[in-house]
Structure 1
Amino acid sequence: RFDFCQAEGKKRPSENLGQVLFGERIEPSPYRFTFKKEETCKPVCTKTYDTKKPEDKQKLDFLKKSMLLNYQHHWIVDNMPVTWCYDVEDGQRFCNPGFPIGCYITEDGRPKDACVINSEFHEKDTFYIFNHVDIKIYYHAVENEALGARLVAAKLEPKRLVFRNNLSSNSGPPQDTCFSEEKNIRWASRWDYILESMPHTHIQWFSIMNSLVIVLFLSGMVAMIMLRTLHKDIARYNQMDSTEDAQEEFGWKLVHGDIFRPPRKGMLLSVFLGSGTQILIMTFVTLFFACLGFLSPANRGALMTCAVVLWVLLGTPAGYVAARFYKSFGGEKWKTNVLLTSFLCPGIVFADFFIMNLILWGEGSSAAIPFGTLVAILALWFCISVPLTFIGAYFGFKKNVSQSFYTKPLPGIIMGGILPFGCIFIQLFFILNSIWSHQMYYMFGFLFLVFIILVITCSEATILLCYFHLCAEDYHWQWRSFLTSGFTAVYFLIYAIHYFFSKLQITGTASTILYFGYTMIMVLIFFLFTGTIGFFACFWFVTKIYSVVKVD
């Protein structure tokens, strides 16, 4: 949409599935570099505008709007982002993998965004476009290789030059491109200078410590229940059963005959559990590979590609878990169960995604998914994921079932999601920043640790509340355990709404619909993910405590 210099006759590089789904379109550049050949103020193209012409005025208005919204250039050379490094508070230097189109001085003379970097930008109610860049490319000489050197960094400084009669009004010859040898930076660590400039590490450690405190608190509560209260209860119940004058049973043992009764809406719960298992395994494996470095930012789109491929291939455990629990609930409509597992949750996500894509098509956005890619996604879903789900369901139904399968429901569910959300909300801020504010996310080690903490917290919080409900002689634990930890997604949604109004400067109905449309997809996936964790934890807890009690 922008009237910038274009590369004529150059073929667009191809993107992988993850890049296409994230709307990352790489266009060829008109800039041409020759290794070790320095350039001085070489023009790329010239643009002229006549404000009396409607089409030119429209282009300029669009350019002004983009500067007000702080739109950014994102350039790549040798798969490295071209960064703009500048000083920030506390003497630190921040390297941004992008640079702004321009900036604006308000009517009261206040510089906005990038205009603060230059004192020459002082005219009130004025737009300044960056029409020149100084580029410096750093390389590391490599011995015994034909290429002789590898690029390890690329930095630029955006400038505004005013030309009159083909001469710059700025003093001094402007520099365009230069090369510099950097012996201290190895090719394997060439991303470090970008990642280390992001001052988030201390916040991440604070997040981890905050989460660990919550986990220790919950672990202590669960340990107290399992080792003291529950142990005493079991000993007392068994002692009463062995005496001739056994008193009337009370507490959670009263519901031992009802604990494995089928829940209401068992079909829907089993479908949610199947889809949640699929997402749980997908998330674990993806984060594991990311921690090993296979899905680093250097591999563009690899994270999303890995997640989609894993989700497609994990149809078998989804079908197995759904069929297994549906059979334990006494269900007989196995065809309906496997069809719902294959199509209900994925269908909701795809329908939401398709509607968002229609809006992007209507807006003419490059983030819109091409029709061919949508067909490819449907082919992966119908031709691979669905058959694998049927295979898993076959083994789930074939296997024999050995068992048929704060005390008020709503307050307990609401409280159950608070502690897991408290473990992730700081990490969630950086994830939302990477999605909506185009910041680079690379801290997969922190993310994997938070993932483990989230699993433990959801499990322990659900077990804790499940025990309280059983002591209140309420045996409806299946749906409640799923919703207790799944309610974390509601706090996720509330935080996303807060993030939208407090952190983003989104204007326009289409952009607002896109934000909340994609947010609803993430909330649904997170709901299934956390709900499944809580159900499995509670299922294990209930099975264990009722297997050690002597039942007459």
Structure 2
Amino acid sequence: MGSGTPSFLGLLCALLTLRPGSGFYLPGLAPVSFCPAGSSSSDCQVNIQLFVNRLDSIESVLPYEYDFFDFCKDDQEKRPSENLGQVLFGERIETSPYKFSFMKTETCAKVCTKSYDVSKQEERTKLEFLKKGMQLNYQHHWIVDNMPVTWCYTVEDNQKYCNPGFPIGCYVDGNGHPKDACVINVSFNEKNTFYVFNHVDITITYHSGEGEGWTGARLVARLYLLGVLKKVPFQYLWDYILVSMPHTNIQWFSIMNSLVIVLFLSGMVAMIMLRTLHKDIARYNQVDQEEAQEESGWKQVHGDVFRPPRNGMVLSVFLGQGAQIFIMTFITLFLACLGFLSPANRGALMTCAVVLWVLLGTPAGYVSARMYKTFGGEKWKTNVLLTALLCPGIIFADFFVMNLILWVEGSSAAIPFGTLVAVLALWFGISVPLTFVGAYFGFKKQAIEHPVRTNQIPRQIPEQSFFTKPLPGIIMGGILPFGCIFIQLFFILNSIWSHQMYYMFGFLFLVFIILVITCSEATVLLCYFHLCAEDYHWWWRSFLTSSFTAFYLLVYAVHYFFSKLQIIGAASTILYFGYTMIMVLIFFLFTGTIGFFACFWFVSKIYSVVKVD
């Protein structure tokens, strides 16, 4: 349609063809059987419903509901029940006007006709919003049998690329340059013109249940939407999606790269533990006390190595929150690997993470209280309140501000007020009390006993070289852990901001394990070097060494924003960096806690075998 055309014709020419096929389903997806009319039973269905989800764009962080664009609507519109994760992600699924019956062919079925009178403000606003959606390349997201419609097309070297969604239209600017999907057809060449993709041909294939042990047939294959986009197929197969997206080789490259780093670090740590450290311990335990006083190295700081750190309150709070995030992440990824949180279970990943975080308030309070007591702290009320409120409060405040922006912009991603109240109820009604319970048991137990006594007078730390000073060590400590995850991070950011489908939770869980090992070994290695330089301030340094990985994550997110995304507009930019800061804070607590406890175990272990009079 031209920019001045006041009509929008919604025409559906649906050709429902049923062909034999084969395929498989993801774990966690319960397949639905279909039967022709007249032979339906409790085990199969006749009607095939096409659902529509929110529309989004890689040029804008703001998603919008299907009805916001004034498309053809279902006369009996219904919304399936949504879980907490779907609401938090802003998914808005509803029934569409596209209706099919199994084994029934329909041709040239008109859904509705839309026309706009530009002299009326309300209708002109609707038309302008539709044109803006085409300019920003907003994408449809349709769902059939709980499977996403995916637009697949051929790129260079005859490789097929799949995108989960298809554009509502395209735009040719005043210079005759086609934008986005307009480049696929040379006939889209009229200057300053908008083309609405309003004609679809749908082909659905099925797999018969005869001899398979189930009744009816299951939809397994392709759905073509041609219309204006002639000879461009759309497909909604889970198996086709998994096979056609060329990510597996890159994922294996990421894993191998991470494993090489882990093996290198493991060799370094093993060399220290089995050779250098073993010889040091044997030599120190063989000489007498007078000779030992003349020695230099990590044994000379035994009387100061367990001296309580400065700002122990804050460190203990960070450790409690980090332990909570670590356990939550481990359980969530483990369940995802088993298939319980597959893409078919929409919103299940976020729902699981939120529920686990709420229920894991007890270990957060326990770890925080136990470490604070070990540091010699006595303000237990302040400790437990900060553990329950500090980091979650920062995240909620950031999230609330982002939600206000979404609400002002009218985006479907804006969280309803009732859901915000429910989240607050989960936080204050369940998580906070459980944190108090954990803190009670943490303070009730005795402080962790150290293997050596602490001197009353602090030992003077000798002049340090450049590489053993705190800042260079912290900066270097985060490089290797980030090197293990940055390729995986690219796919995660793609799934969040470029709306790519992420399903390789097995890879992600393996990278998670590698990250834990790398953070631990890098922190232990640098901690040993600092102790050998007679610098005993290792408490905060062990936390910051591995948590500095979060800084590199932030730098990469900034690079991703300017190099990979085409986001425009102040609101979208603020939303991107607002949500990124939440990710960075969570990653900061998570990695820092890993490094701290690895170093705490290491220091306790080496000084427990040293004979000190």
TM-score, normalisation: structure 2:
0.83
Tell me which of 345, 348, 357 is aligned to 1:302: 348
Once the 2 structures are TM-superposed, how far is the Cα of residue 269 of structure 1 from its aligned partner? 0.4
Partners in 1 of 2:593 and 2:100 — Cα distance?
Answer: 53
Match of 1:225 in 2: 272
Match of 2:218 in 1: 150
CA contact (8 A) 1:81 1:154 kept: no
TM-score, normalisation: structure 1:
0.92
Amino acid at match of 2:340: F
CA shift digits 1:424-473 (9 cap, x unpaired): 11110110110111111001011011101100110011011111111111
RMSD, matched Cα:
2.2
Q: Helix, strand or coil for the counterpart of 1:29?
A: strand
Amino acid at match of 1:478: W
Once the 2 structures are TM-superposed, how far is the Cα of residue 399 of structure 1 from its aligned partner? 1.1
Structure 1 residues without counterparts, runs of 5 or longer = 162-169, 181-188
Tell me which of 84, 94, 106 is aligned to 1:39: 106
Percent of aligned positions that are identical? 81
CA contact (8 A) 1:136 1:156 kept: yes
- When residues 190 and 48 of structure 1 are mapped into structure 2, their CA distance, relative to the original with a 3 A threshold, is closer
Partners in 2 of 1:270 and 1:402 — Cα distance?
Answer: 13
Once the 2 structures are TM-superposed, how far is the Cα of residue 108 of structure 1 from its aligned partner? 4.3
Match of 2:439 in 1: 393
CA contact (8 A) 1:10 1:28 kept: yes
Of stretches 63-72 and 286-295 in structure 1, the one that deviates more from structure 2 is: 63-72
Structure 2 residues without counterparts, runs of 5 or longer = 1-67, 455-466
Match of 1:469 in 2: 530
Q: How does 1:340-419 map to 2 (within 5 A)?
A: 340-403=386-449, 406-419=467-480
Match of 2:22 in 1: none
- When residues 246 and 300 of structure 1 are mapped into structure 2, their CA distance, relative to the original with a 3 A threshold, is closer
Match of 1:211 in 2: 258
Tell me which of 363, 366, 369 is aligned to 1:317: 363
CA contact (8 A) 1:133 1:157 kept: yes
Match of 1:159 in 2: 227
Of stretches 320-329 and 214-223 in structure 1, the one that deviates more from structure 2 is: 214-223
CA shift digits 1:128-184 (9 cap, x unpaired): 1101111111221123888511222342224239xxxxxxxx9xxx9x99xx9xxxx
Amino acid at match of 1:379: A
CA contact (8 A) 2:384 2:436 kept: yes
- When residues 246 and 288 of structure 1 are mapped into structure 2, their CA distance, relative to the original with a 3 A threshold, is closer
Once the 2 structures are TM-superposed, how far is the Cα of residue 528 of structure 1 from its aligned partner? 0.3
Q: How does 1:282-301 map to 2 (within 5 A)?
A: 282-301=328-347
Amino acid at match of 1:439: Q
Amino acid at match of 1:502: S
CA contact (8 A) 2:284 2:292 kept: no
- The structure with more helix, counted as a fraction of residues: 1
Partners in 2 of 1:287 and 1:111 — Cα distance?
Answer: 42
Partners in 1 of 2:432 and 2:324 — Cα distance?
Answer: 12
Match of 2:208 in 1: 141
CA contact (8 A) 1:260 1:403 kept: no
Q: How does 1:400-549 map to 2 (within 5 A)?
A: 400-403=446-449, 406-549=467-610
Residue 112 (structure 1) aligned with residue 179 (structure 2): yes
Q: Would you say how many aligned residue pairs link Structure 1 and Structure 2?
A: 529
- When residues 146 and 245 of structure 1 are mapped into structure 2, their CA distance, relative to the original with a 3 A threshold, is closer
Match of 1:85 in 2: 152
Of stretches 91-100 and 483-492 in structure 1, the one that deviates more from structure 2 is: 91-100
Residue 49 (structure 1) aligned with residue 116 (structure 2): yes
Match of 1:202 in 2: 249
CA contact (8 A) 1:286 1:307 kept: yes
CA contact (8 A) 1:84 1:155 kept: no
Amino acid at match of 1:238: N
Match of 1:101 in 2: 168
Amino acid at match of 1:193: Y
Match of 2:129 in 1: 62
Partners in 1 of 2:265 and 2:487 — Cα distance?
Answer: 19
Once the 2 structures are TM-superposed, how far is the Cα of residue 402 of structure 1 from its aligned partner? 4.2
- When residues 239 and 509 of structure 1 are mapped into structure 2, their CA distance, relative to the original with a 3 A threshold, is same
CA shift digits 1:26-49 (9 cap, x unpaired): 122111111121221211111112
CA contact (8 A) 2:202 2:223 kept: yes
